[in-house]
A and B are shown apart, each in its own frame.
Chain A
Amino acid sequence: MVYPWSMPATDDLQFPPAFTSETEPAFTGKAPLESWGRYPNYNANVVSLHWQGDYPRVIDGVHHGVLPVGLGRSYGDVGLLKDGTLVKTTAMNRLLAFDAETGVLTAESGISLAEILDFSVPRGFFLPVTPGTKYVTLGGAIANDVHGKNHEGAGSFGNHVPAFELVRSDGTRLLCTPTENPDFYAATIGGMGLTGLISWAQLRLKPIASRLIDYEGIQFHGIDEFIAIKKQYANVEYTVAWLDCVSTGRNFARGVYMLGEHAKEPGELKSSPEPKLVFPIDAPAFALNKLSITAFNTLFFHKQIKSHVKTQQDYEPFFYPLDKVLHWNRMYGKRGLVQFQFALPWETSKEGTIAMLQEITKSGLASFLAVLKTFGDVPSLGMMSFPMPGFMFALDFPIKPGITMPLMQRLGDMTKEYGGRLYSAKDACMTPDQFQAFYPQWEKFARFKDPAITSSFWERVVGASFTGRSVRTVGR
């Protein structure tokens, strides 16, 4: 009941129905959102999803499109939607089932890989595939079909996801497996969140006996030595190389080849402590310059004094060396960083990598961190997945006006010429022309896209603008 004498002076106020506790107000906060590379960043509404059943209500009446997002560890704009609504899933992080016989874990999609490890390691299970950070969500790992150091044997993340549920904006709930709704299954793995909301998913964990990793580090000089070591250690589960891409001459393409396997002898299986270090402030723009990066690279190369080291280490520093410092991306200052990550087919792997390294040296830009590894031939299950058999190379560049973007452009074109492709999850620079050459199947994929969902990445590389009903593809 509303009595006239209690009415506020403004009589155009709408009186809502009496409060019922059933409808918690949906949160719509406007926040400038940046992803991991801090470039680009756009304003968007951020709505937090706490319960699977709230999704239809949360996206009801939303204009300018919707995009489900996780922990924002993608580097560029696959997880951004300018002026749209980001549906953040991280509060939806419940475990739903676990079969200790098969290792299959069922969980809501907003759970992070760190939270999965907290649960699974004490029970003797590990992630089947893990990217270089554990601060990504299960849904995000599927949507970007992430890969790890064991791609040769294990394929990418989606290869270990036997089932998930996809919720479309019209309310349809699709159980997706390789045999049920197989098209939506394939389109959603590596589908950049564009096919709908992944409400829950299954992940096949693998048994481990210990937290420890049997580690070997081997110094190498040049791509040929890298390939020789790769051949010699073909049976080792985890392999990755750090590469010095600053040094020239005798030290050109020197690096450390890192190999690891889960220790076989039973050991400690406790979960990890919380990281304590936080990169506290934005570093000034000059902090990362050629000199400091060269110093870092030399230190890293000689961190292991012997050219060949064999030891045991905890899985945290082996898989997640950068997670030790939360917000390490602030090291790049406010301007941020771009990552350039390419895959090249075997035929052009060596030649293309050397050519691009030379191009980078020529530009005068230095990459603080360069990672080189090989993708195996386990086929990805995703329609838009990144891996292809051959070299995979990732570099971080600080954003220097007038230098970084033209270099990215040239490197993108070179990747295209060498028949490779770039990784959407890391990208901020691909042109529509490049994207459509890397992923010629994009038009088929677009048929499975949810009409209410889009991203700044998608609009950039497909040249589409969100119409409210469906994306009109005005690209080629």
Chain B
Amino acid sequence: MSAGKASTAHTPKRILVLGATSGIAEACIRSWAERGDMLYLVGRTASKVGVVVDDARVRGAAFVDSAVADLDDTAAHPQLLAHAINSLGGLDVAFVAMGTMGEQAQSERSFDAADAVLHNNFIAPASLLTWLANYCAQRHTGTLAVISSVAGERGRKSNYVYGSAKAGLTAFLSGLRNRIDREGVRVLTILPGPVKTAMTESMKGSEKFADVNKVAATIVGAIDKGGDVLYVPGIWKIIMGVIKLIPESVFKKLSLGAE
């Protein structure tokens, strides 16, 4: 039944979404809203955040608040997070879904472009997670679910700048998990393969990418059930397992372009 909060015995979760207008985040927000969770949504563009908030309210979220913020601005993170957690009255799940692919060619030509990609995909999430991890560790509760990428599993010529930022993020999450798991805080690393969203639309073969709603259902389920690392769709665990085994001397001759 998807009749919303009234018909389910679901205890509402307090969920903070950072990067709420990303395709994957929006799909997750819809299912959380449909089961009556409490949401605090953060995105960069007011008009986009506005309609995502409306959609969540209409679908039956028990509570929706939002902020428009540039998450690249790490100096503003503590205040933003404090405001969000106060508004939710606590925190059960923080979902970090920010990220931008950038354009590899541009990143190769100009470090300013590469810097923006590295910052948005690694530095800024690392800052958010530092604050969130400390908050949760103090209280011995909470789940930090973070979208990294299979692109971070091995550097490839087609997207190594984005990939290296995600590799950094994956390593950061792995270390963080080992630090705070004993404090009762769960860290879930989400490694999506290519998913059909606005971010990947211009990529070759995007019509064959995974359906965002199915990916979101898997993510929402994993956040509920627990787990450390989630490849989604699951086939990417096998694909990346194989790709990681290829010796570099061979790998550099393969032109694994599109992902």
Contacts and interface: CB of A to CB of B under 8 A. Distances in A.
Interface residues of B, number: 34
A94 B47 contact: no
A119 B3 CA distance: 8
Contact of B103 (A2, A25, A123, A271): A25
A235 interface: no
Contacts of B54: 94-97
Nearest to B120: A21
A1 B112 contact: yes
Interface stretch (A45-53, A148-156, A316-324, A348-356): A45-53
Interface stretch (B194-202, B219-227, B235-243): B194-202
A2 B114 CA distance: 12
Interface in B110-150: 110-113, 116-117, 120
Contacts of B106: 16, 19
Given A8-B109, A95-B58, A48 B117 contact: no
A94 B51 contact: yes
B51 A51 contact: yes
Interface residues of A, number: 38
A19 B117 contact: yes
B109 A2 contact: yes
Contacts of A11: none
Interface string A94-113: 11111000000000100000
B164 interface: no
Interface in A240-264: none
Given A20-B116, A52-B47, A270-B1, A97 B58 contact: yes
A60 B6 CA distance: 45
A28 B203 CA distance: 10
A92 to B, nearest CB: 9
Given A95-B59, A122-B3, A53 B198 contact: no
A275 to B, nearest CB: 14
25 contacts: A1-B112, A6-B110, A15-B109, A18-B110, A18-B112, A19-B103, A19-B110, A19-B113, A19-B116, A21-B116, A24-B100, A24-B198, A25-B202, A51-B51, A53-B47, A91-B198, A95-B55, A95-B58, A96-B54, A96-B55, A96-B58, A108-B51, A122-B1, A269-B3, A271-B2
List of 10 A-B pairs having minimum Cβ-Cβ separation, nearest first:
A18-B112, A19-B113, A122-B3, A94-B55, A95-B58, A27-B201, A21-B100, A50-B198, A96-B54, A27-B202
